[in-house]
């Protein structure tokens, strides 16, 4: 994954999971471990897309869906694959045997995040150290690969909780899988929009309840 994509991940994480709408380039650079020279061109591009509004001390997210789809279209999940193999285990049993420190995404991430998944799936996508996965799940032949290991980065590890990738990461990884994951992409998109509306309603309610 290109380092600049961390900026998009950080923006979407702050918006969807911390209910932040105003951000600064400096804060993003520090959070992502990147220079302002890397962050600023991405912010300018988002402004060109109409996804943010520049302010004196930073910017305000005005169309988060545009940011999400912009990242989904730029993402190249295939380039991040560092190991894949086939196993006779079900997806559920693969997930149970993942080593500590693994971060589930795509189908498994959705399932772990919401406790349900509206489709049957066999493939497990996980960010993890490939050496440990090769030991637990040796390379096999004769079947379609159902364990796909992706290269993690320190920023993703920091934002992940309980071995589950952030919402936006799960979304863009599912988006990259095409038609087999379309139903989940639509479902997750709807849940993220519902969360956005709920957060906004909460802000409005708290504002109205302030004395004076």
Note the pLDDT of residue 83.
Answer: 95
Specify the pTM: 0.90
**Structure confidence at residue 140 as a pLDDT band (50, 70, 90):** confident
The CA distances from residue 63 to 10, 47, 53, 59, 115, in Å, are: 15, 10, 9, 12, 28
Q: Which residue, among 163, 166, 176, 79, has the nearest Cα to 128 in the 3D structure?
A: 163
Residue 58: its pLDDT value, please? 94
Contact indicator for 100, 132 with CB cutoff of 8 Å = no
User: Does 204 have pLDDT greater than 90?
Assistant: no
Packing angle, helices 182-209 and 167-176, rounded to 10: 150
The predicted structure's pLDDT at residue 138: 86
Cα 74 from Cα 12, distance rounded (Å): 15
Q: Exposed, middle or buried by CB within 10 Å (0-12, 13-18, 19+), for 16?
A: buried
At 28-79, the pLDDT tens digits run: 999 999 999 999 999 999 999 999 999 989 999 999 999 999 999 999 999 9
Q: Work out whether strand 58-61 and strand 124-127 pair parallel, antiparallel, or are unpaired.
A: unpaired
How buried is 104 (Cβ within 10 angstroms: 0-12 exposed, 13-18 middle, 19+ buried)? buried
DSSP 180: G
Pairwise CA distance, residues 196 & 14, whole Å: 12
Q: Check whether 196 has a pLDDT greater than 70.
A: no
More confident residue, 80 or 210: 80
pLDDT band at 141 (very low <50, low <70, confident <90, very high): confident
- The answer to whether 148 and 126 are in contact (CB under 8 A) is yes
Pairing of strands 103-105, 52-55: unpaired
Q: For 105-119, 120-134, 193-207, which range has the lowest pLDDT when averaged over its residues?
A: 193-207
| Cβ contact 25:47 at 8 Å | no
Q: In what order do the strands lie in the sheet with 103-105?
A: 81-85, 147-150, 124-127, 103-105
> What is the average pLDDT across 194-211?
48
**Lookup result for tokens 């639509």:** 186
Cβ distance 97 to 34 under 8 Å? no
Residue 201, pLDDT > 70, answer no
Q: Domains in the chain, start-ordered, CATH in brackets?
A: 5-74 (1.10.10.10), 77-188 (no CATH)
State residue 139 phi and psi, 5-degree precision: -60, 135
């Amino acid at each position: 994954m290109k380092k600049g994509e961390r900026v998009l991940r950080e923006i979407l994480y702050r918006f969807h999971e911390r209910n932040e709408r105003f951000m600064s380039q400096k804060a993003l650079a520090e959070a992502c471990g990147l220079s302002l020279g890397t962050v600023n061109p991405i912010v300018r591009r988002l402004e060109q897309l109409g996804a943010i509004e520049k302010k004196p001390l930073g910017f305000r997210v005005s169309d988060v869906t545009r940011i999400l789809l912009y990242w989904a279209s730029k993402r190249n999940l295939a380039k991040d694959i560092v190991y894949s193999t086939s196993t006779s285990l079900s997806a559920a049993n693969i997930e149970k045997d993942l080593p500590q420190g693994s971060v589930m995404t795509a189908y498994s991430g959705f399932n772990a995040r919401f406790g349900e998944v509206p489709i049957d799936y066999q493939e497990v996508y996980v960010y993890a150290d490939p050496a440990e996965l090769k030991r637990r799940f040796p390379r096999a032949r004769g079947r379609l690969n159902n364990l796909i290991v992706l290269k993690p980065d320190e920023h993703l590890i920091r934002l992940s909780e309980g071995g589950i990738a952030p919402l936006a990461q799960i979304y863009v990884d599912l988006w990259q899988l095409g038609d087999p994951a379309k139903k989940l992409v639509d479902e997750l998109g709807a849940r993220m929009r519902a969360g956005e509306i709920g957060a906004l309603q909460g802000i409005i309610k708290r504002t109205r309840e302030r004395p004076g």
